[in-house]
Structure 1
Amino acid sequence: MKRILLLQTGGTIAMQIRRDADGRLNNLPSDSLEKYIPELSAIADIECLDLFFKDSSDMNPNDWVTLARAIESNYDAYDGFVVLHGTDTMAYTASALSFCFKNLTKPVIFTGSQLPLSVIRSDAGRNLINAVQMATLPFCEVAICFSDKILRGNRSTKVSIGDFTAFTSPNHPALAEIGIDIHVKHALRPSGNAMECYPAFSEELMVLQLFPGIKPARYIPLLAEQTRAVIISGYGSGNFPSSGDYSLIPFLEACMERNIFMVMASQAVFDAVDLEKYSSGRIARELGVISSGDMTIEAAVTKMMYLLARYSSPYQIRDAYVRVLRGEMTPVHTS
């Protein structure tokens, strides 16, 4: 029987409803999971590690490092890993961990739920059973298991607050679908090299989301000395206002003067940023802005945080950012 380490970080799945008048939600210890889901013991030999109990909105890069280190230190002792995590920032943490691990040879499966495990109609049991089952398979991905689908972690984004199908992978097919059988279709293959772990993230970046009426010049004073990169969440294929008081161009020029790395992402979740399509995009490219391709905003942000921590040279960061590191984007083929 495969040995699986279940790592607890908190979230809705880790809550239980108190049987008193206040109805507050409390943390559910991981070692009590089999009380609610006795089927787990038939799937794998599961051991639990409670790292912390956090609402996922409180997760930060220090927690990503703690989680990555916990997996690294237990890597040889287990066949796979399941991470219990709140849904709100699960895609950020899964993306971050995907960049931490190079040459991953074992599954790291994130799961959670929309309702606490102790609620009768909860989706927690099904998600956890599926996640543990996936963690026993020869599957070398950091993935999210939710609602009978396995999605690449750095391709996933949360799209629903109230539906059990909380996540989607807008620009990459599901890695596996779970029905009567589990069909793995699009997973990465092992490289054959030893796993390496680089758990470090820099917070020296800024994300600027455009909206009609924004005056980007107001944000120039926020470009402090510790800002090394800016990710702009633009419109469509990377479009933005380029004339008058609402022009983004003075902001881009201020970034260029300060040697701040600039990336253009999109508020549209499907398809890729193309800076050649419109005149504003071509201006941005001339000012040194690069495209995030078809990455999710979660992947675009965590990839940059990872690279800022690994490299000091802007050229190394730029070279690595436009390359596919962990399956997080579709390669751009140029003629």
Structure 2
Amino acid sequence: MGQVTFMERDGPESHYPESRVLIIMTGGTICMQPSADGLVPMTGFLQNAMAPRPSFNDSSAPAVKINAFQNGVKMHLDSLRTPPSAYSRHIRYGILEFYPLLDSSSISSIGWTEVAMTIKENYHLFDGFVVLHGTDSLAYTASALSFMMSDLGKPVILTGSQASIFALQSDAVDNLLGSLIIAGTFVIPEVCLFFSHTLFRGNRTTKVSASSFEAFDSPNCDPLAKVTSLGVDVNWSLVRRPTRIAEFQVTKYLDTAHVACLRIFPGIKPEMVDSVLRVPNLRGLILETFGMGNAPGGVDGSLTKVIKEAVDRGIVIVNVSQCTNGFVSPLYAPGTALGRAGVVFGHDLTTEGALTKLSYLLALPDLEYKEVTAQMARSLRGEMTEMTLPSFSHPAGSIDSAVARLTSAESAFTALGYAIRNGDLRTVREILEGDEFNHQLLKKADYAGNTAVHLAAVGPQPQVMHDLLMRGASVHPRNRANNTPLYLAEKMGNDECVRLLREAGAHLWVAESLAKTSEMGDLASNGFVEVDSDGGAERIESIASASVADGETDTPAIEVMADGRVPNISTESVKPKQVIASASDHNLGRAM
């Protein structure tokens, strides 16, 4: 008898929730196997490398196909599911393999664009993304993707290995499994690099060893997370959060064709530097200098003069240190001279981060020279430490007596929940101000898995939702019933919350879209929904709202139940065709 395969919504039962992660295979040592010509990339990674390993495959039946997109083409990928993790969650994943698979030394901005656009195409279908990549240029790709992808709301984790997954002694399994669990469990909305049990911010990393399993480091930024025998320890105070309400976007191209790197060495001639700066169409140069940003001025300042002439021609020159640790600063006279010549101080940018950041800024069509230099000196994606003035006193607290009485995160979250339910904006703000530095309340959930954003989605005050989003709260977590805040807001008929959530990049989960489509069909068949003439039925207005409009004021309010579900709205008292579905608001038929 042939194997039974289910699609998407049908799958093996489990008592544990399930996350979806897309693994994007670009190539690299991790997928290589021996051949007569040496190590070569191998296709069919899911079945050949992951399916036989119990840590990647719980052997659940029947098999499940999951949807994914590549270059606009819908695909049905084979998938596997991990056993329950320490966080009582399965991770279901599929692999999308690029063709041809690349050695990472051959990747270019074209490859970066392909990875970024693949993530964008599948953004609504998965909770997180893992990119398998060779280690030679892994730090460059991580940095590039961090700038190409703005307003990211989900984890994108790059990893690889120093030895093939088929080798007897290899780091591949630990690196891949760690990336998979973090991407499917924690809402860390950054481009990260995972290696040797450590999660780094991608644009802070550099490769420090050609053979060690501890191949990467982030010298000027502590790790975002560490994997230990007790689980994953996330340094939440370092994790970046959105500071504006905006949807995920991708900048397709980086201008790597018109930038260069030059490493200063003792005795370098001004003519050598000048020849690099006169490369046709050069627009930017990363200058790797000594120590804290020093470079020889040359006889009578001739080298500095060459650099100033290039700046006057409109070439952006960025000063970064050759040292692994530390930052550039105009402390010494040679560094000060470069600053006076118009060179931008790159603080503690890595060379990889500086090159890709400059390529990103030069690719933006509306940025003038002064804007590019100004942006290079400030942090865009956490890639650098912005210099701040020292503080000589303890920061003044703004927590009033109501917040001061809160003795733990649990009681604070309880108080926050009551304030959200009551629409008490002032108290909500006071409690959140007391959590300004740790941001614990934005990540906490109640016993039903509802975060503050879930609660605000069914609350009476949309401004609460606005405040939560502006403080960096994620719109993507699902509660125990697998409901997103957007689903709850639409169920409740909170149109303003729906608008805010969508502007922040929220989308319905696959199962929610299917349920909503089915729900609309049931309502239409029973005469509760009138579909417009072009068949583009879209959004169902709240039946509760329709009842109020019809003079009925005793419709019960919708509440989140103990298990995280929103009970179905009764349609018994609603007259047929009372609610009109409009195609102008939102298209349910689009790929989610």
What is the distance in 2 between the residues matched to 1:214 and 1:80?
47
- C-alpha change, 1:201 and 1:165, in structure 2 (3 Å) is same
Which residue is equivalent to 1:16? Answer: 33
Q: Percent identity?
A: 36
Which residue is equivalent to 1:4? Answer: 21
What is the distance in 2 between the residues matched to 1:256 and 1:107?
38
Which residue is equivalent to 1:187? Answer: 239
Aligned: 1:176 with 2:241: no
Decide which structure has the larger Cα Rg and report it: 2
Aligned: 1:142 with 2:191: yes
What is the distance in 1 between the residues matched to 2:202 and 2:119?
16
Which residue is equivalent to 1:31? Answer: 46
**Runs of at least 5 residues in structure 2 that lack an aligned partner in the other structure:** 1-17, 57-80, 83-89, 391-592
Which residue is equivalent to 1:303? Answer: 357
Q: Give the alignment partner of residue 95 of structure 2, picking from 43, 48, 53.
A: 48
Aligned: 1:59 with 2:107: yes
* CA-CA distance at 1:235 after TM superposition: 0.3
What is the distance in 2 between the residues matched to 1:165 and 1:248?
39
Moved more, 263-272 or 243-252: 243-252
* CA-CA distance at 1:330 after TM superposition: 0.6
Conserved? CA contact 1:216–1:246, under 8 Å? no
Q: TM-score normalised to the size of structure 1?
A: 0.94
Q: Look up the SS of the partner of 2:51 in the other structure.
A: helix
What is the distance in 1 between the residues matched to 2:164 and 2:52?
11
> Which amino acid counterpart does residue 14 of structure 1 have in structure 2?
C
Q: Look up the SS of the partner of 2:189 in the other structure.
A: coil
What is the distance in 1 between the residues matched to 2:142 and 2:225?
17
Higher relative contact order (CA 8 A, sep 6+): 1
What is the distance in 2 between the residues matched to 1:221 and 1:145?
39
Runs of 4+ that moved beyond 6 A: none
- C-alpha change, 1:15 and 1:85, in structure 2 (3 Å) is same
Size of the aligned set, in residue pairs, is 331
Which residue is equivalent to 1:95? Answer: 143
Q: Give the alignment partner of residue 215 of structure 2, picking from 156, 162, 166.
A: 166
Aligned-pair RMSD on alpha carbons?
A: 1.7
Moved more, 244-253 or 154-163: 244-253
Conserved? CA contact 1:261–1:289, under 8 Å? yes
Aligned: 1:132 with 2:185: no
**1:171-250 correspondence runs (5 A):** 171-180=220-229, 181-185=231-235, 186-191=238-243, 192-202=245-255, 203-222=257-276, 223-244=278-299, 248-250=303-305
Moved more, 236-245 or 116-125: 236-245
Conserved? CA contact 1:235–1:267, under 8 Å? yes
> Which amino acid counterpart does residue 228 of structure 1 have in structure 2?
R
* CA-CA distance at 1:44 after TM superposition: 1.4
Conserved? CA contact 1:215–1:246, under 8 Å? no
* CA-CA distance at 1:245 after TM superposition: 8.8
- C-alpha change, 1:217 and 1:269, in structure 2 (3 Å) is same
Which residue is equivalent to 1:324? Answer: 379
What is the distance in 1 between the residues matched to 2:52 and 2:378?
44
* CA-CA distance at 1:204 after TM superposition: 1.0
Conserved? CA contact 1:213–1:246, under 8 Å? no
What is the distance in 2 between the residues matched to 1:63 and 1:245?
45
Q: Look up the SS of the partner of 1:77 in the other structure.
A: coil
1:161-192 per-position Cα deviation (integer Å, ceiling 9, x unaligned): 11100000000000000012101102212445
> Which amino acid counterpart does residue 283 of structure 2 have in structure 1?
R
Which residue is equivalent to 2:204? Answer: 155
1:175-224 per-position Cα deviation (integer Å, ceiling 9, x unaligned): 00001210110221244532121122002112111112221322323323
Q: TM-score normalised to the size of structure 2?
A: 0.54
* CA-CA distance at 1:27 after TM superposition: 1.7
What is the distance in 2 between the residues matched to 1:134 and 1:37?
19
**Runs of at least 5 residues in structure 1 that lack an aligned partner in the other structure:** none
What is the distance in 2 between the residues matched to 1:246 and 1:113?
46
> Which amino acid counterpart does residue 145 of structure 1 have in structure 2?
F
What is the distance in 1 between the residues matched to 2:19 and 2:223?
24
> Which amino acid counterpart does residue 200 of structure 1 have in structure 2?
Y
What is the distance in 1 between the residues matched to 2:344 and 2:308?
14
**1:237-316 correspondence runs (5 A):** 237-244=292-299, 248-274=303-329, 276-311=330-365, 312-316=367-371
> Which amino acid counterpart does residue 75 of structure 1 have in structure 2?
Y
> Which amino acid counterpart does residue 50 of structure 2 have in structure 1?
E
- C-alpha change, 1:206 and 1:246, in structure 2 (3 Å) is farther
- C-alpha change, 1:219 and 1:166, in structure 2 (3 Å) is same
* CA-CA distance at 1:265 after TM superposition: 0.8
